[in-house]
Amino acid sequence: MSKTLVKRAYRYRFYPTERQQLELLRTFGCVRLVYNMALQARAEAWDQHRRRINYHDTSALLSGWKRTDELAFLNDVSSVPLQQTLRHLQTAFTGFWAKRARYPRFKSRKRGKASAEYTRSAFRWRDGRLWLAKLDDPLDIHWSRPLPDNATPSTVTVSRDAAGRWHVSLRVETSVEHLPPGVDAVGIDAGLTALITLSTGEKIANPRHERRDRQRLARAQRVLCRKQKGSNNREMARKAVARVHARITDRRTDFLHKLSTRLVRENQTIVLEDLNVRGMIRNHNLARAISDAAWSKLRSMLEYKADWYGRTVIVVDRWFPSSKTCEQCGHRLDDLPLETRAWTCPGCGYTHDRDVNAARNVLAARRAVAACGDGVRPIRR
């Protein structure tokens, strides 16, 4: 059976000592500062001289910053994370120029998580123990799962999330064995009442993780609003809110991992629609529920796991009228309101469940997409 050589990241919790925590927080601050200064330099070069600055130019600027008295403290931390953040900035601009991402934003101390990336020259790996540059003691890592046999990390990313949890991500190169080839294919229709509906008729219920913890989240946010800005009590309340958000995110991610793994293992071909999630969340009545469903994250998991295990994911054009087309005779309705969950075809008299019918039409469209590409549009009247 064939194998695929892939790069995988294994993330673990770790518990730094007080000295390690101070050193890592200092590194995070320097990484954030260098990123923001490089971004400012690139923006000014374009605004004033219409000149693009690349990674090598910002690297030269970093060397100059280190020689100044005001920024001499940049020499106190490992130089590798500072260089890596410049590479990340270059990647962000490359995505922006290719119109795959928005313009890079400045990093904020109060927004999101802080992280630093170390390459092989800045860490030491020996007998399952990890030492980072500028740290004398190894990290106290909680090994929730083992690394692949004989795997050596190529990069290490240390991060601290908004809830104050410390994580280390080890990127290794390992081989993944393909699953036995099969003939089963399944169409998927995404929804809110049922997270996904399969062409087999099975419906996977939407766990609605955010709704289950909504009262707890609202209570924690009300406590936060009553705290004085800049006080220690407000910081404690902020972490309490962040812990609720982290709980929701972890449960959602765990559910999507289990669901995507099951679909990839059971089916050789998976067919789904190219949903415009960014446009759909502009509907303020459904934005919260759509964000909680995390359809884009599920699609991403299906695609990379299918690539690992020798499966195929086919994406049907977003304008394909899967819900309004009868999967028995092909009759297409002019309009089908969202609140209509079942309808009877005027052509053949067959009664459809809206979601099951859409999933079966998506599955039927896979042949056209496989033959002609995902740009195939439905026939317009």
Indicate which residues carry an active-site annotation: 189, 273, 355
Dist. CA 196–CA 149, nearest whole Å: 36
Dist. CA 4–CA 318, nearest whole Å: 31
Other CB atoms closer than 10 Å to residue 307's CB: what's the count?
15
Rounded to the nearest 5°, which phi and psi values hold at 171? Answer: -95, 120
To the nearest 10°, report the CA torsion of 256, 151, 88, 276. -20
Cβ 179 vs Cβ 2: under 8 Å: no
In Å, the largest CA–CA distance within the chain is 81
Cβ 174 vs Cβ 203: under 8 Å: no
Other CB atoms closer than 10 Å to residue 182's CB: what's the count?
13
Dist. CA 227–CA 334, nearest whole Å: 54
To the nearest 10°, report the CA torsion of 77, 83, 88, 90. 150
Cβ 14 vs Cβ 168: under 8 Å: yes
DSSP letter at 366 equals H
H-type alpha helices, 114-231:
209-212, 214-225
